[in-house]
Amino acid sequence: MHTDDIKKIEGKVLGQRISHPEKYDPTILVAVPRKPNRDIYNISSPADIFIGIDTWHAFELSFLTNNGLPVAGVAKITYDCNTPNLVESKSLKLYLNSFNMTRLGNSAKEGIDIIKSTIVADLTKTVGGDVNIEIFISDDSTDIEYHNFQVIENQNNIDNIIFDAFEESPELLEILKKEENSEHLLMSNVLRSNCKITHQPDWGTVFIRYSGLKEVSQESLLKYLVSFRNENHFHEEVCEMIFKRLYDKLTPDDLMVTCVFTRRGGIDICPSRSTRKDWMFRNLTDCKVLTSKLLRQ
């Protein structure tokens, strides 16, 4: 697909003055093909190197029952990373807003059942694959399993490191060879990239877990993550770029990269890519579990 065609798709609502819809409108949803960006990073057969889940939290979902009672909650939406398309975030926000004055069901429970089935049908058509959704109307969240991860910017010599690359620079990654297999659990709160169309900043926490005979130096990894600061990409693309660079450099036995991005416009997007399912955070990728917010959310 030509670059101009991609921008036309991506820019259907991004950067445009769009009035908030006053009634349910599934035509607002915009599908963005995954393939063009994957081709740039030589991810020709993604299913051969990773599995993954795209997790979305919509914190401002609301509708009315038939008697006008407002129902509000948090929607957690998940779908496989290898659907042909992802859904563009502003279009999803406007689509979900289109339910705000829509009357659904004679009770909150009945309305929730209706809105869940409606959203699943519409998003399944948009992304081209199965979609899961759960709606939470009470705060029964569970902490994400991140406590064993080492924060790489907490290293002792941080004040002596020079950061001067602010466009994605995989050549910064320094790889060390080891005599024995080792496993590493690392995280950073300094991830920042920008929206592909509006160039508005997106802040995130990144989790990286890998094992094998090679190790990436933490200083070089931090420099690499900082180099995303002026990159303009969708959240899912950033996660896959980090995964593929580390996959190529480390040739690991196993690798997991999860990016938990800050809530913007009432929605956060949290993509996970991994060579093994049990390394992905269960509480994040399980649609039926409400994830507790992290620092960057």
* For residues 14-28, average pLDDT: 75
Task: Kindly report, residue by residue over 113-135, the tens digit of the pLDDT.
Answer: 999 999 999 999 999 999 999 99
- In 3-state terms, what secondary structure has residue 84? coil
Query: Catalytic: which of 202, 239, 270, 286?
Result: 202
pTM of the predicted model as reported, rounded to 2 decimal places: 0.86
Task: Kindly report, residue by residue over 197-212, the tens digit of the pLDDT.
Answer: 788 888 899 999 999 9
150-285: which CATH number, 3.30.1130.10, 1.10.1740.10, 3.60.15.10, 2.60.120.260?
A: 3.30.1130.10
The yes-or-no answer on residue 195 being catalytic is yes
3-136: which CATH number, 3.40.50.300, 3.30.390.30, 3.30.1130.10, 3.20.20.70?
A: 3.30.1130.10
Residue in 240, 103, 110 with CA at minimum distance from that of residue 168: 240
Q: Rg of the chain over CA atoms, in angstroms?
A: 20
What is the structure's pLDDT at 49? 94
**CATH 3.30.1130.10-classified regions of the chain:** 3-136, 150-285
The yes-or-no answer on residue 202 being catalytic is yes
Q: Please return the burial class of 291, using the count of CB atoms within 10 Å of its CB with bins 0-12, 13-18 and 19+.
A: buried
* Ranges assigned E (strand) in the chain: 31-33, 51-64, 70-80, 85-87, 131-136, 150-151, 175-194, 201-216, 254-261, 267-274
Query: Catalytic: which of 81, 122, 195, 270?
Result: 195
Please report which helix (H) or strand (E) contains residue 97, including its range. Answer: helix 89-97
What is the structure's pLDDT at 140? 66
